[in-house]
A and B are shown apart, each in its own frame.
Chain A
Amino acid sequence: MAAVLLIGSVMKFAIALFSAAHAPSSRRALLFAQAALAGGHEIVRLFFYQDGVYNAADSLVTPQDEQDLPQQWRAFVSDNQLDGVVCIAAALRRGVLNNEEAQRYQRSAVSVGAPWALSGLGQLHDAIQDADRLICFGGA
């Protein structure tokens, strides 16, 4: 019954994405996130983990006749001023670096900028504590 009472009230979602930008599940995550906001709900944090870090990479070039998911994520996070966190360990091992990490490890390629933040797995844990629901997307 408790669940029934929650219908109609504002829910806090934490959304974790595990798949790369070309995977159908990444688009599904974006559509779910858009629907959650459209339904008047709150997204406490988006956490991009494992191959999900590629969704935050500026260096991805999507063919013109396909959905440019990294761009759509960027616009969605910016427009709605969301907290978009990219797992730093997952990002480093995939060469997805922001300016600070590129300098730290003396690499020339910088592929993550605003609105993303590179941070630790603790940010996912923290978001799960804060949210009413954790929704994960990944795989196929």
Chain B
Amino acid sequence: MSTLHVLSHSPFGDSRFTSCLRVLGEQDALLLCGDATYALQPGSSPFERLQAAGLNLFVLAEDLQARALDTPDWAEAINYAGFVELSIEHDKVNTWL
């Protein structure tokens, strides 16, 4: 049983990011899109937490690109076709609305 967690809110604005990391299981994956991609701002607290967590981390490439951020080697940038495939590979998709 695995869940794909989808975050779109900035990690600097509320506690969704922290709550999500807390409930993330070993089989689960995290997809960052929209303002949630700001978590990949190098040197920031969310960046360091993600780097240390060693989880299955994905990021929507166009949202990252729109914010002039790079994909670290411990994350995978995907397009919408990849998003669809991820949603199939996992049993459930939980969007942090």
Contact = CB atoms under 8 A, between A and B. Distances in A.
Interface residues of A, number: 27
A140 B83 contact: no
Contact of B89 (A4, A24, A31, A138): A4
Contacts of B83: 32, 35
B45 interface: no
B48 interface: no
B35 interface: yes
Nearest to B95: A136
A139 B34 CA distance: 10
B97 A3 contact: no
A113 interface: no
Contacts, number: 63
Contact of A28 (B2, B8, B10, B85): B8
A38 B28 CA distance: 26
Nearest to B89: A3
A14 to B, nearest CB: 11
B33 interface: yes
Given A140-B8, A140-B36, 5 more contacts: A6-B88, A32-B80, A35-B83, A35-B84, A139-B9
Interface of A: 3-4, 6-7, 11, 13, 18, 24-25, 28, 31-32, 34-36, 38-39, 41, 132-140
Interface of B: 2, 8-10, 33-36, 60, 79-81, 83-85, 87-93, 95-97
